A and B are shown apart, each in its own frame.
Chain A
């Protein structure tokens, strides 16, 4: 039976809890293959190009519960040349999908930021879809330190 130990409860209360406590210690984690499968669903198997995407994430995250993510895609965001969606998955969380951003003609920029949860050191993979049906991708690894009380 999985219960939260007192140590984990105290860590949670102090905000120093590991992401695994939030996400569920006994959860099976998804795999890179599952992340690829989700991406293939989004792209319908179309080849992805490199470039255009900037992914800002910390190299090392002390707290896997809240990690800032900022994505920008180089695009004039005009009717002729725009980003319609940005799809974000990870290859080490219980489930690969994180968030999908939808942009419009009124967005001005293909920019979105949020905060995400990461269960462990893993890759965050971003796929951008443009109005003319092309796909771009970029990824970044985040090292998540599973900090204990006093080491």
Chain B
């Protein structure tokens, strides 16, 4: 139902290199402060948590509030010592969990 997340992760790196990762998830990030045409408050529905793990270990995470813009964009770094898989997780207020993976080859 949701649009697919987009990630920019290098395909290869040197051992010990610090790489840059960018991610974006299409999402309305409904703030919970807007009102509809009848004056009723539109309930909040945002991505409240973003996580990045590498080979099962946490690398970076973020707790998001309504003040994060729609289509939440996250940029951060990771120091890679071995080849493996980055796993990205987005958690929606409504319980939906979206995940994506990217493999990196490290020499």
Asked if chains A and B come from one complex, the reply is yes
The yes or no answer to B72 lying at the interface (CB within 8 A) is yes
The yes or no answer to A114 lying at the interface (CB within 8 A) is yes
In the complex with contacts A24-B35, A116-B67, A117-B31, A100-B76 CB distance below 8 A: no
Q: Is the CB of A107 within 8 A of B75?
A: no
Q: For chain B residues 35-55, which have a beta carbon within 8 Å of chain A? A: 35, 37-39, 41, 54
In the complex with contacts A66-B69, A99-B67, A107-B79, A113-B59 CB distance below 8 A: no
In the complex, number of A-B residue pairs with CB atoms less than 8 Å apart: 120
Tell me how many residues of B have a C-beta within 8 Å of chain A: 34
Tell me how many residues of A have a C-beta within 8 Å of chain B: 40
Sample of 20 A–B contacts (CB below 8 Å) = A1-B39, A3-B39, A4-B37, A23-B31, A24-B32, A24-B33, A26-B35, A27-B33, A94-B33, A95-B66, A99-B63, A102-B61, A102-B62, A106-B58, A107-B77, A109-B18, A112-B60, A113-B76, A116-B67, A117-B31
A residues with CB within 8 A of B: 1-4, 21-27, 65-67, 70, 77, 90, 93-95, 97-104, 106-109, 111-118
B residues with CB within 8 A of A: 18-19, 31-35, 37-39, 41, 54, 57-70, 72-79
